[in-house]
């Protein structure tokens, strides 16, 4: 990332309403020397010359984000960054499973998360399940972002494959005022306002946006409302930033559909609704102070309230037996007559609801020391952080009836065995350091590490109060020191060779810990039972490569290998009588090893009228352990053996992306991005026995016309050639909903058809 190095200046934020009468000069921006630096820790302070970073870092700025006209952060990353692909598990554009180097950042609780995400130094992976809700990152507030590769321990828990670090705008970096709006396909309308300025000492930045759409699939409307403000103070050696992020979202992502249904109607959904509502209230305070010419102190503190409500209408394996509703064991779930059940007696639906209230707060502090060591340049950063989260999770399932459209209508009868009332308190304490020392004029050594101590305290009940979530009364404690060491060598002034080894870990999530008792299988991923211990997942990465940083054309070529020890996997449960499977139930358990190995190539250029990029990634994601799992095949349960070398589902081996933007005149610019992702295995085919999801390619266009210095118009077309493709697949039970005669167990996440949008932007 090319950012200005500001000695003694870091953003500080107040709300404009709190500072009436101040004279803010939008044009008064600081003129400072630009140095290409990367922040080596989430808490930004003194950066490190990009040539000294022993790894591949992909960066982007607000201008690049605007030029792409991407829907949000995840859409931009998927279009432009290497080693990235998308799984449309929910089939909602705001709810993707983002894959980087075969690791996941997903809004779905129960997914094995392997990417940490930071906003202004605050980790925004949700406390419950480490999930990432991308719509909670306001796109119009982003000033820059870095995708850090590898198991970088400095970015804390969950950084198994990479970390995304985002910095927001302020009145010193982004002054001026604008209004933007667009409309187009799928009933999508969006409006955004921005305003910012400073008077040399105080600055403000405020942005807000509303985006709503009907969705391209049936019954799939969504609405996202975002607000961000940043109030800043600066003097010669001190800075303060106070940020507020407020987001409300109401998303309908009705999940994958049976492949036979997709062949009939790509817009059709299997069952609905699958609704998620998120409410975020986050407050951050960041500051820095130069103690002297060689020592900088940085700190932050935050409070984050993130509440989530979900409603999922789904099929079930319940049956009617005489006057009762029974489960697949024949046990009575409910008397039939009192329900007044009037639907198709062969299809009994469930309304699965959950409410998760998450409150988290904490602080971080670090000092950067720039004193020479042995008469050589040296940068030492040491720091510590503390984070606490308090989570209340409630969930239950209600017996329901299917409507004619395969929606659900509740009966009011709650199944006691599904009622969960859990409290999870998590404390995380970390200390870390990183040191970069110039051994010679060309050779730099970076070494560091982070010690993580995590305590998870789970209490409450499941099964309607019958099951204690913590029978032993124990707290789960995980502690580990993760090291890193790397070298960079300047073969020429702008040709750098690098090598790096790093380790990181993630603790099992509460949903994994409370769903690990083999004798008490739970419904993936929301049910809770007693909690035997699981081991934390440990990632070890080694990578090496070359990068050319000459300004006009930058490039990189590298290889990496990441091994995960004690990776966590969800095992479907099969009773002793294999003719009576319970494949919707199961448990999490550690498996010995998985691995991701890959090759990355990239070219990037930005000139006055032309900017372009091209990247290629080969990712080989494999199981490195042998184990058995079961799946229903033709109404029978079949046991499959996963062997060392079998590929992990959902990860394309080959990813190719190219993009170009060209300013034909000072007023008119046009651009395009194209991508190709190769085939992938269905989730549930870990043994690699069946047909894969086909690879696919996409071409998107975008353009912009500046009428004058204040008014411009823009347009974009996604999926120009209207390709029909799927980018996610899993095995399911297509016979659990009425009105369909389907047999193929494959479900897919279908890609959106061709679509276009037009809009305008007014800048003052």
Alpha helices in 169-278 (DSSP H): 259-264
pTM: 0.92
Output the pLDDT for position 216.
97
Q: How many CB atoms are closer than 10 A to CB 63? A: 12
Rounded Cα gap, residues 90 and 358, in angstroms: 22
Residue with tokens 């817009």: 267
Output the pLDDT for position 533.
65
Contacts of residue 66, defined as CB under 8 A and 6 or more positions apart, other chains included, come to: none
Rounded Cα gap, residues 134 and 497, in angstroms: 34
Q: Which residues pair with 457 in a beta bridge?
A: 425
Contacts of residue 114, defined as CB under 8 A and 6 or more positions apart, other chains included, come to: 103, 104, 105, 158, 160, 161, 162, 506, 539
- What's the Rg (C-alpha) of the chain? 26
Contacts of residue 561, defined as CB under 8 A and 6 or more positions apart, other chains included, come to: 541, 542, 543, 595, 596, 597, 598
Pairing of strands 476-492, 495-506: antiparallel
Output the pLDDT for position 520.
63
Contacts of residue 129, defined as CB under 8 A and 6 or more positions apart, other chains included, come to: 109, 110, 111, 113, 509, 510, 511, 525
SS3 511: helix
What CATH number should be reported for the domain whose range is 2-275+282-763? 2.40.170.20
Rounded Cα gap, residues 77 and 657, in angstroms: 11
Dihedral of CA atoms 400, 403, 406, 409 in degrees, nearest 10, equals -30
Rounded Cα gap, residues 517 and 528, in angstroms: 10
Residue segments in the chain with a per-residue pLDDT below the cut of 50: 1-34, 524-532, 575-583
Query: In this structure, are residues 420 and 395 in contact, taking their beta carbons and an 8 Å threshold?
Result: yes
Output the pLDDT for position 345.
67
SS3 678: coil
Pairing of strands 162-168, 115-119: parallel
How far is CA 678 from each of CA 23, 614, 631, 749, rounded to the nearest angstrom?
Answer: 55, 17, 25, 15
Output the pLDDT for position 35.
53
Output the pLDDT for position 513.
81
Output the pLDDT for position 406.
94
Output the pLDDT for position 332.
77
- E strands in 372-494: 378-402, 408-414, 420-438, 443-462, 467-468, 476-492
């Amino acid at each position: 990332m090319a950012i200005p190095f500001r000695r003694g200046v870091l953003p500080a934020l107040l709300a404009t309403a709190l500072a009436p009468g101040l004279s803010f000069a939008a044009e008064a921006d600081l003129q400072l020397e630009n140095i290409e630096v990367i922040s080596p820790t989430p808490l930004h302070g003194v950066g490190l010359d990009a040539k000294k970073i022993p790894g591949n870092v992909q960066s982007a700025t607000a201008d690049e984000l605007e030029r792409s006209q991407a829907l949000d952060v995840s859409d931009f990353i998927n279009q432009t960054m290497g080693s990235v692909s998308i799984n449309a598990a929910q089939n909602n554009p705001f709810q993707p499973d983002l894959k980087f180097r075969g690791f996941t950042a997903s809004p779905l609780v129960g997914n094995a998360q392997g990417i940490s995400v930071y906003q202004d130094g605050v980790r925004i992976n949700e406390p419950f399940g480490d999930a990432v809700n991308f719509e909670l990152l306001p796109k119009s507030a982003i000033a820059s972002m870095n995708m850090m590769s590898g198991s970088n321990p400095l970015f804390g828990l969950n950084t198994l494959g990479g970390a995304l670090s985002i910095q927001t705008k302020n009145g010193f970096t982004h002054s001026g005022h604008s209004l933007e709006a667009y409309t187009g396909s799928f009933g999508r309308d969006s409006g955004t306002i921005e305003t910012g300025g400073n008077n040399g000492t105080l600055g403000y930045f405020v942005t807000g946006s509303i985006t709503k759409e009907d969705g391209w699939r049936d019954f799939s409307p969504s609405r996202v409302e975002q607000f961000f403000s940043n109030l800043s103070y600066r003097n010669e050696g001190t800075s303060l930033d106070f940020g507020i992020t407020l987001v409300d979202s109401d998303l309908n992502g009705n999940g994958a559909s049976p492949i036979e249904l997709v062949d009939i109607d790509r817009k059709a959904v299997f069952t609905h609704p699958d609704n998620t509502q998120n409410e975020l209230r986050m407050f951050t305070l960041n500051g820095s102070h130069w103690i002297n010419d060689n020592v900088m102190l940085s700190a932050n503190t935050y409070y984050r309230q993130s509440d989530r409500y979900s409603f999922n209408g789904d099929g079930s394996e319940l049956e009617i037996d005489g006057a009762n509703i029974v489960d697949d064991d024949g046990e009575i779930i409910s008397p039939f007559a009192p329900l007044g059940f009037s639907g198709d007696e062969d299809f009994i639906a469930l309304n699965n609801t959950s409410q998760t209230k998450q409150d988290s707060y904490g602080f971080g502090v670090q000092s950067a020391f720039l004193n020479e060591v042995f008469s050589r340049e040296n940068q030492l950063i040491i720091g510590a952080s503390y984070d606490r989260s308090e989570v209340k999770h409630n969930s239950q399932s209600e017996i329901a009836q299917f409507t004619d459209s395969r929606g659900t209508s509740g009966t009011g009868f709650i199944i006691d065995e599904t009622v969960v009332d859990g409290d999870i308190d998590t404390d995380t304490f970390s200390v870390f350091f990183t040191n970069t020392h110039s051994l010679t004029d060309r050779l730099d050594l970076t070494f560091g590490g982070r010690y993580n101590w995590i305590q998870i305290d789970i209490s409450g009940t499941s099964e309607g109060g019958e099951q204690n979530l913590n029978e032993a009364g124990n707290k789960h404690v995980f502690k580990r020191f993760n090291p890193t060491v790397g070298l960079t060598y300047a073969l020429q002034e702008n040709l750098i060779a690098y090598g790096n080894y790093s380790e990181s870990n993630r603790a099992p999530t509460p949903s994994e810990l409370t769903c690990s008792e083999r004798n008490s299988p739970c419904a993936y991923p929301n049910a809770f039972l007693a909690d035997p211990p699981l081991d934390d997942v440990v990632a070890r990465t080694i990578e090496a490569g070359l990068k050319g940083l000459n300004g006009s054309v930058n490039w990189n070529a590298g290889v990496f290998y990441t091994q995960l020890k004690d990776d966590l996997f969800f095992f479907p449960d099969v009773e002793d009588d294999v003719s009576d499977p319970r494949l919707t139930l199961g448990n999490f358990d550690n498996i010995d090893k998985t691995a991701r190995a890959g090759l990355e190539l990239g070219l990037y250029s930005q000139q006055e009228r032309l900017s372009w990029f091209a990247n290629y990634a080969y990712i080989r994601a494999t199981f490195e352990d042998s184990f058995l799992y079961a799946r229903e095949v033709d109404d029978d349960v079949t046991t499959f053996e996963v062997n060392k070398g079998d590929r992990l589902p959902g990860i394309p081996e080959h990813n190719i992306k190219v993009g170009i933007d060209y300013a034909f005149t000072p007023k008119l610019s046009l651009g395009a991005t194209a991508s190709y992702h190769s085939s992938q295995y269905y989730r549930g085919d870990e043994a690699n026995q069946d047909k894969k999801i086909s690879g696919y390619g996409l071409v998107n266009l975008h353009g912009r016309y500046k009428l004058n210095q204040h008014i411009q118009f823009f347009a974009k077309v996604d999926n120009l050639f209207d390709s029909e493709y799927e980018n996610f697949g899993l095995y399911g039970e297509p016979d659990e909903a009425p009105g369909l005669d389907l047999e193929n167990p494959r479900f897919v996440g279908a890609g959106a058809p061709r679509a276009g949008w037009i809009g305008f932007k007014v800048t003052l």
